[in-house]
Structure 1
Amino acid sequence: MWFSALSALWLAATAWAAVDRGEDGNIRSIALRTHTLKQPYLDSDMSSRWYDFGGDTVIRTDSYIRLSSDRPSQNGWLFSRVPLTATNWEIEVEFKISGKNQLYGDGFAMWLTKERGQLGPVFGHTNNFEGLGIFVDTYKNNRPGTVFPYVMAMVGDGKTPYNKDNDGKETEFAGCSARGIRNANIPTKLRLTYFQDKSLKLELQYKTEDEWLLCFETNEPPTIPSVTYLGFSAETGELSDNHDIISIDAKNLYTTAGSSTPSKKTPGRGGASKLAKQKEGGSWTWFFFKIIFFILAIGGGYVGWTAYRTNQKRSHRF
């Protein structure tokens, strides 16, 4: 009986320790299976339960989902079958842009839009979209003073078009240069984190593995439609590249009771805030282990008392 109780306690402790807290101890996450995609990508019937694909997209089950190959005039897309309805979420994508040519283009995009699976002129997806687009643009058309490849976000209202001639300069919400993101020597990734009405943050990994570079962060995020589809698309013109999706890891984020969603740090207060969070996390950890020690002490006393009673009975028998 005692060992059964101890086993149950151990399982509970293991489950507690396995909760993903992220960098902020007050943030928890739950994997969104409906929007996560990893090798081998396809089910036994050679289709994906959660994603559709079309255009020139090619799937190699042991390696990648190739939205466009290193050939001219390619367009391909990959879109979730069910909408993303989570209020707060984090989407981490491993991708690869590669090619042998000195001149290359055009790039690929990540979408959170009402439209899904519609071929078009905006990195392989339809124009006049409604929602959020993240563009990894590798070919510079006309943006003096901007270093390419360039990563930018655009918020579409369903009416305003993306202007390819100036690389979407007038409709850019935020962005950053990312020289070295093509033909990188490490796995290249992007991580988009969104808290409704609180923050939107885009991070990139392409210089050093496990080192995330902040592309942009705002505590005044755009309004994203409550029902959107997660998708990816790519396009090549006269110039070309391979645009591959390696994996998609989507999570629903939520905060614990009494905590607030993250916001931009105020100079001079970041250290105090971090210390408070560490103390809060430490107090909970210590409280949890005190419970374990208490139960173990009771159990140990019970085992000792039982052994003593058994010895007493044996001595009376002789």
Structure 2
Amino acid sequence: MMVSTWLSAALWLAACVMAGIHDQTTTNSDGIRSIPLRTHTLQQPYLDSDMQSRWFDFGGDTIIRADQYIRLTSDRPSQAGWIFSRVPLTATNWEIELEFKIHGDGTLHGDGFAMWLTKQRATGGDVFGSTDRFEGLGIFFDTYKNNRPGTVFPYVMAMVGDGQKPYDKANDGKDNEFMGCSARGIRNANTPTKAKLTYFQDKSLKLELQYKKEDQWELCFETSEPPTIPSVAYLGFSGETGELSDNHDIISVATKNLYDTKSRPDNSGSAGGGRGGSTKGKPAKKESSGSWTWFFFKVIAFFGLVGGSYVGYTAWRTQQRRAHRF
């Protein structure tokens, strides 16, 4: 009777956990399903009970205030700080939504901060507080204009590093730029400032910014020919100040794995020569890998929870029997 009651309770608990996971999963009108990645997410209080982060390492001048922010640099000269994930982001398609704050008291300010998806991790340097000659993708939020005529600052720029080419700091990365946009008003903004980077392997890379009005996203850049990001790439953030300074704060990071659950039409058609010679391509098969992956994940989690609970219950019963002998 007790075992039956315990199994019922365990199954109920497992169902609740699975429902909780399912509630965090959303599918938009385009059929894109998103699943949160806890390993690449930062939210208050940022640290565990032992004052460490399970999924991120940090160093340099980074300060973590558990109820407010992760401060990469304070509003003081010659500061540099970083925070990097401990495990690589291996998802094929993903979305990273970052809330940040660039602010300070000075009329003149600098230098800026960066978001990284690179093979290198947790190494300080002189490219917005992280190492130069990186391999992967860097997104630079540059607030100080060195030598780039005709460009309005602050400027947000993407660079694709091959592990050999250095960042041209003297010219604000002009020769390194993959894509970018001006973002006047991103510093000391009156509304929460955010960046949303969305990547579909071999299909698209898009960066959107929010700084003018809440829930109003401005397209910074978008391409249907995205760069190849290393299969083992760590998510990180770093900031730097020189003679001029600012506070560079990370408020939150939400990373999601994306799955396309809808079938997409094949637009390739046929290369027929005369009028009426072309034919429609066959409909693409429904991409159900995301659905099946999520299904198996739920099944494994379910039985893992039930099995773990059973082992714990068995150990408890054994301990009880031994106690009764004395």
TM-score bracket relative to the smaller structure: 0.7 to 0.9
Query: How far apart are the structure 1 equivalents of 2:21 and 2:245?
Result: 47
Q: Deviations over 1:223-274 (max 9, x none)?
A: 110110000000000000000000000000011152479xxxxxxxxxxxxx
Return the match for 1:165 from 167, 170, 173. 170
Q: Deviations over 1:261-305 (max 9, x none)?
A: 9xxxxxxxxxxxxxxxxxxxxxxxxxxxxxxxxxxxxxxxxxxxx
User: What is the SS of the residue equivalent to 1:120?
Assistant: strand
User: What is the SS of the residue equivalent to 1:148?
Assistant: coil
Q: Deviations over 1:131-189 (max 9, x none)?
A: 00000000000000000000000000000000100000001000000000000001100
Residue 139, structure 1, aligned to residue 153, structure 2: no
| 2:127 and 2:167 in contact (8 A); partners too | yes
User: What is the SS of the residue equivalent to 2:187?
Assistant: coil
Return the match for 1:39 from 44, 49, 55. 44
Report runs of 4+ in structure 1 exceeding 3 Å deviation: 11-19
Q: Deviations over 1:174-224 (max 9, x none)?
A: 000000000000110000000000000000000000000000000000011
| 1:89 and 1:194 in contact (8 A); partners too | yes
Query: How far apart are the structure 1 equivalents of 2:105 and 2:177?
Result: 30
Query: How far apart are the structure 1 equivalents of 2:264 and 2:97?
Result: 24
Return the match for 1:54 from 56, 59, 78. 59
| 1:26 and 1:259 in contact (8 A); partners too | no
Query: How far apart are the structure 2 equivalents of 1:95 and 1:28?
Result: 25
- Normalised by the length of structure 2, the TM-score is 0.74
How far off is 1:17 after superposition? 8.0
| 1:104 and 1:240 in contact (8 A); partners too | yes
Q: Which has the larger radius of gyration?
A: 1
Q: In structure 1, give the amino acid aligned to 2:239.
A: A
| 2:25 and 2:36 in contact (8 A); partners too | no
Query: How far apart are the structure 1 equivalents of 2:132 and 2:164?
Result: 9
Query: How far apart are the structure 2 equivalents of 1:131 and 1:14?
Result: 34
Q: In structure 1, give the amino acid aligned to 2:159.
A: M
Correspondence for 2:102? 97
Q: In structure 1, give the amino acid aligned to 2:214.
A: E
Query: How far apart are the structure 1 equivalents of 2:185 and 2:241?
Result: 19
Query: How far apart are the structure 2 equivalents of 1:162 and 1:14?
Result: 44
- Normalised by the length of structure 1, the TM-score is 0.76
Gaps of 5+ in 2: 1-15, 267-326
| 2:24 and 2:36 in contact (8 A); partners too | no
Return the match for 1:20 from 23, 26, 41. 26
Query: How far apart are the structure 2 equivalents of 1:175 and 1:30?
Result: 28
5 Å-filtered alignment, 1:296-311, equals none
How far off is 1:19 after superposition? 4.1
Query: How far apart are the structure 2 equivalents of 1:76 and 1:92?
Result: 20
Correspondence for 2:68? 63
Return the match for 1:86 from 85, 91, 94. 91
Q: In structure 2, give the amino acid aligned to 1:231.
A: G
User: What is the SS of the residue equivalent to 2:209?
Assistant: strand
How far off is 1:21 after superposition? 1.7
Q: Deviations over 1:56-115 (max 9, x none)?
A: 000000000000000000000000000000000000000000000000000000000000
Correspondence for 2:319? none
Correspondence for 2:324? none
Number of aligned residue pairs: give it.
251
Give the direction of change, closer, same or farther, for the CA distance of 1:85–1:74 in structure 2 (3 Å limit): same
Give the direction of change, closer, same or farther, for the CA distance of 1:185–1:226 in structure 2 (3 Å limit): same
User: What is the SS of the residue equivalent to 2:39?
Assistant: helix
Q: In structure 1, give the amino acid aligned to 2:94.
A: W
| Identity across matched positions, percent | 74
How far off is 1:25 after superposition? 2.8
